[in-house]
């Protein structure tokens, strides 16, 4: 009986969180669309600052992750393709893998660990210090002024980072292909894009758009529901990162299945 009650508690709690996150998404989209035309909207400067933080300041770590990932893919695929005398197809392997899967997923994981944790910690600190209640006292909607700028910044910057990640990963594979495998540079570049179709590109971009919503919503939700002082902030930050990682992998699997079985 205790076991069944514990399972029921987990199910009810999970459903409750899903409903609350969905409600947060609806309210965020509403204020993002209606906010500019209704009263005071968060200053463009606030959105710009969040774009700099989530995008520009995440570029360095994204660069290294994508660059070394491209190198690893090239070396691993060269080992197998070389046995078949098809080493030149290393270029296509790297470019398609980065565009469809590794570029958007690895970039999202990096941003979730850096930006998602920072969002939760910042909003969580505001919550436990009653700054959010102060905003509500002044008739300022916290979602409008705290969530919307972070949401808009991420859905713009994460796809941009994904595109850069794809190109950097291809560049890492280029170094291995040209300077280690001895492939012709022009032929390598030609093969990198010859086998890539538009579906490979927009698949990755759609994934990055969904991942951006996950990171921003989970980070803001955990921050706005932080309890228990400084210890609660740390706990919420850890839970935010772990939840974001799990949901990114889950939705990556779902989206990959959708695109795999569709003719889009």
Q: Do residues 120 and 18 touch, judged by C-beta distance below 8 A?
A: no
Mean pLDDT, rounded, for 127-154: 86
Answer yes or no: is pLDDT of 41 > 60.
no
**Res. 136 pLDDT band, cuts 50 70 90:** confident
Q: Please determine, for residue 107, whether its predicted confidence score (pLDDT) is greater than 80.
A: yes
- Which whole number is the average pLDDT over 28-41? 72
How large is the greatest C-alpha to C-alpha distance in the chain, in angstroms? 70
Are 159 and 107 spatial neighbours (Cβ–Cβ below 8 Å)?
no
CA 256/CA 84 separation, integer angstroms = 28
Mean pLDDT score of the chain, rounded to an integer? 87
For residues 49-75, give the mean pLDDT. Answer: 92
The C-alpha torsion from 54 through 109 and 159 to 200, rounded to 10°, is: 170
Give the predicted TM-score (pTM) of the model.
0.91
- Torsion (CA) 191, 58, 149, 240 in degrees, nearest 10: 100
| Domain map (residue ranges) of the chain | 2-261
């Amino acid at each position: 009986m205790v076991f069944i009650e514990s399972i029921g508690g987990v199910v009810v709690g999970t459903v409750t969180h899903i409903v609350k996150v969905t409600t947060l998404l609806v309210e965020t989209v509403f204020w993002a669309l209606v906010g500019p035309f209704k009263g005071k909207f968060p200053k463009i400067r606030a959105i710009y600052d969040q774009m700099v933080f989530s995008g520009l300041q995440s570029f360095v770590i994204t660069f290294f992750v994508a660059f070394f990932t491209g190198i690893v893919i090239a070396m691993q695929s060269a080992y197998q393709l070389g046995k078949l005398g098809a080493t030149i197809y290393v270029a296509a392997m790297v470019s398609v893998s980065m565009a469809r899967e590794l570029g958007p997923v690895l970039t999202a994981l990096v941003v979730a660990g850096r930006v998602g944790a920072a969002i939760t910690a910042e909003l969580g600190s505001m919550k436990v210090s009653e700054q959010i209640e102060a905003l509500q006292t002044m008739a300022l909607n916290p979602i409008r002024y705290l969530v919307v700028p972070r949401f808009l910044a991420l859905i713009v910057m994460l796809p941009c980072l994904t595109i850069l990640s794809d190109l950097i990963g291809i560049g890492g594979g280029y170094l291995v292909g040209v300077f280690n495998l001895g492939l012709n540079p022009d032929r390598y570049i030609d093969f990198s894009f010859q086998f890539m179709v538009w579906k490979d590109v927009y698949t990755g971009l759609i994934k990055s758009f969904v991942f951006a919503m996950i990171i921003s919503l989970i980070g803001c939700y955990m921050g706005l529901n932080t309890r228990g002082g400084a210890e609660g902030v740390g706990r919420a930050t850890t839970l935010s990162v772990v939840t974001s990682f799990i949901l990114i992998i889950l939705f990556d699997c779902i989206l990959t299945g959708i695109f795999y079985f569709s003719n889009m």
